[in-house]
A = this chain, B = another copy of it.
Amino acid sequence: MNRGIQQYEVGDVFDDFLLIKSATKGVTSTGKPFMTIMLQDHTGDIEAKLWDSSPEDEKMYQPELIVRVTGDITSYRGKNQLKVKQIRLSNEQDSVSVHDFVETAPIPQEEMIEVITQAIFEMKNPNIQRLTRHLVKKHQKAFLDYPAATKNHHDFVSGLAFHVVSMLRLAKSIAQLYPSLDTDLLYAGVILHDLGKTRELSGPVAPSYTLEGNLLGHITMMVEEIKEAAQELGIEGEEVLILQHMVLSHHSKAEWGSPKPPLVREAEILHYIDNIDAKMNMMDRALSKVEPGEYTERVFPLENRAFYKPLTEKKNSVPTNM
């Protein structure tokens, strides 16, 4: 495959396929129509300007379609922009597929589901095990396809499962060092904590919030589903309540979306594991774009900090979680 869009520089000429992420029309200050099209490949995205666009253009170029574009890389307010010279929809002969243009978790789905299945298999408490297995089965396709968020961290295809797999590994390590932790609760909490995202978000590519996502949120929906699953499976022990509590409290504070703070040891630790994995993902991503001795751009969900990459940074390290 060719250079990713991320690698192009101002002055370069671009001529390749890209996926339309969004498309809006506008009118210049002198009254002429144009289109602003966000285009992406697996390495990133770029804003394209199609000047003097026709009503046909506006109908044709829709999100999730693939286009062949030729144009110049220019710069606008410090960001690259693509000034479109030629554009057409892809056709069958082009043999390109949406999957070639989206960022995806670095581990194959089969491997991820295996890690998750193994964690469930290791559970000793049959109630926790059956509940977790049931819910994973119920949402398996979306669980493996969805991102963990619309932006910020793990916002790519299969991001949710990848986040969970990383967290499971972290949970296992921590539980070995602190044997008082109940691994059944901890693993189940990790696996279920964000599963409600499969209902909160609209889909794996370019997700938006669903109505129930907006009005209830993924936490409330998952708490509800755990109860529902327990009823279906005829499970009645206190474990059901504890798992609901772990999902409910995993944002830790009311102002962050958890109406109850963690009141169980494993719930408290789940919150930390979630944080470490999300923050490592954001920091690694930002730091991978700069050289030692430089600062990253400001990372909004990390309190808008710009991180410094020390000169001591190991030159050939390859960050895992991108």
Q: Is the CB of B224 within 8 A of A308?
A: no
Given A215-B245, A241-B212, also A180-B27 (CB < 8 A): no
Chain A positions 75 through 112: 1 when the CB is less than 8 Å from some CB of chain B, otherwise 0? 11100010100000000000000000000000000000
Q: Is the CB of A259 within 8 A of B261?
A: no
- The distance from the CB of A313 to the nearest CB of chain B, in whole angstroms, is 7
Q: Is the CB of A242 within 8 A of B310?
A: yes
Smallest CB gap from A169: residue in B: B177
Q: Is the CB of B245 within 8 A of A216?
A: yes
Instruction: Return 23 A-B CB contacts under 8 Å, by A number.
Output: A26-B76, A27-B75, A27-B76, A31-B74, A169-B177, A174-B276, A178-B280, A179-B319, A180-B284, A180-B318, A180-B321, A182-B310, A214-B260, A215-B260, A217-B260, A220-B244, A220-B259, A227-B228, A228-B228, A239-B310, A254-B259, A262-B305, A268-B279
In chain A, positions 235-260 with a C-beta closer than 8 Å to chain B are 237-239, 241-242, 244-245, 248, 254-260
Given A217-B260, A220-B248, A220-B259, also A177-B166 (CB < 8 A): yes
Q: Does A307 contact B (CB under 8 A)?
A: yes
Q: Does A184 contact B (CB under 8 A)?
A: yes
User: A1 — which chain B residues lie within 8 A by C-beta?
Assistant: none
Q: Give Cα distance in the complex from A184 to B317, angstroms.
A: 14
- The distance from the CB of A59 to the nearest CB of chain B, in whole angstroms, is 15
- The distance from the CB of A292 to the nearest CB of chain B, in whole angstroms, is 10
Chain A residues in the interface with B (C-beta under 8 A): 25-31, 49, 51, 72, 74-77, 81, 83, 125, 128, 166, 169-170, 173-174, 176-180, 182, 184-185, 211-212, 214-217, 219-220, 223-224, 227-228, 231, 237-239, 241-242, 244-245, 248, 254-265, 268-269, 272, 275-276, 279-280, 283-284, 287, 302-303, 305-308, 310-314, 317-321
User: A214 — which chain B residues lie within 8 A by C-beta?
Assistant: 260, 263, 308
Q: Give Cα distance in the complex from A101 to B173, angstroms.
A: 35
Q: Give Cα distance in the complex from A203 to B121, angstroms.
A: 41
Q: Is the CB of A317 within 8 A of B177?
A: no
Smallest CB gap from A29: residue in B: B28
User: A169 — which chain B residues lie within 8 A by C-beta?
Assistant: 177
